[in-house]
Amino acid sequence: MKDKIEIKRQKLDYHSETPFMKTLRRSAKEHGYDGFLETPKFFFRETIDIILQRIAYFAPYSGIRVWLHRRRGVKIGKNVHIGPLVFIEPVFPNFVFIEDGVSIAGQNYILTHNKPLKYHQNVTEAFVAPVVIKKNAWVTVGSIILPGVTIGEGSIVAAGAVVTKDVPPNCIVGGVPAKVIKELELSNQKPET
């Protein structure tokens, strides 16, 4: 089961092309499947996960998408909307946490791992880290959320933003990389203009 690994920032091996079985054993171990019989179990589980992800990506209704992503291991709260063509982490979906009332518009990417080539090991690290989208946040169309990011409660990620670091609560961020554009004023614990 994917919950065999701790859900915190962890180092990964760098990417290198290796024969299928060696790659499968390495991936199984990274996901907490360690042992002879665990590798085939991991392969079966990952195959099912990829099928569920593809169906969720094209599913015609948000409720179906939410249900499918929960089956994959994504932690999703109540009253969450996931738009069409949303790509949620294919390798470590259990590192994605979406709290109550969140709306994720279409064509967004949410990623939890960075696995560069071994050639680039002196430039960037290989790691997996949780992505947390707090209550009532809105991720608008075409955004990319990178590993280790927390989107603050009630915040808005503007269209096309690339979020590389944490977003404070109740603000609007946009750009590449995303920066705070505006802090939202609250009235009765809801934003106003």
According to DSSP, the residues that pair with 113 across neighbouring strands are 128
pLDDT value for 99: 98
| C-alpha closest to that of 131 among 161, 111, 156, 114 | 111
Q: What secondary structure, in 3-state letters, does 13-54 show? A: CCECCCCHHHHHHHHHHHCCCCCCCHHHHHHHHHHHHHHHHH
Give the residue among 113, 71, 64, 117 at the shortest CA–CA distance from 86. Answer: 64
* Predicted pLDDT of residue 4: 54
Bridge partner list, 17: none
pLDDT of residue 193: 64
DSSP β-bridge partners for residue 133: 98, 151
Please, which residues have CB within 8 angstroms of residue 47's CB and are 6 or more apart in sequence?
A: none
Classify residue 132 by its DSSP letter.
Answer: E
- Tokens 């949303």 correspond to what residue? 86
Q: What is the CATH number of domain 12-192?
A: 2.160.10.10
CB 108 within 8 A of CB 65: no
Q: Which amino acid is at 149?
A: V
Annotated domain spans of the chain: 12-192
pLDDT, averaged in runs of 10, over the chain (193 residues): 66 83 84 83 91 95 97 97 96 96 97 92 93 98 97 97 97 96 85 72
What's residue 1's pLDDT? Answer: 36
Q: Give residue 58's pLDDT.
A: 95
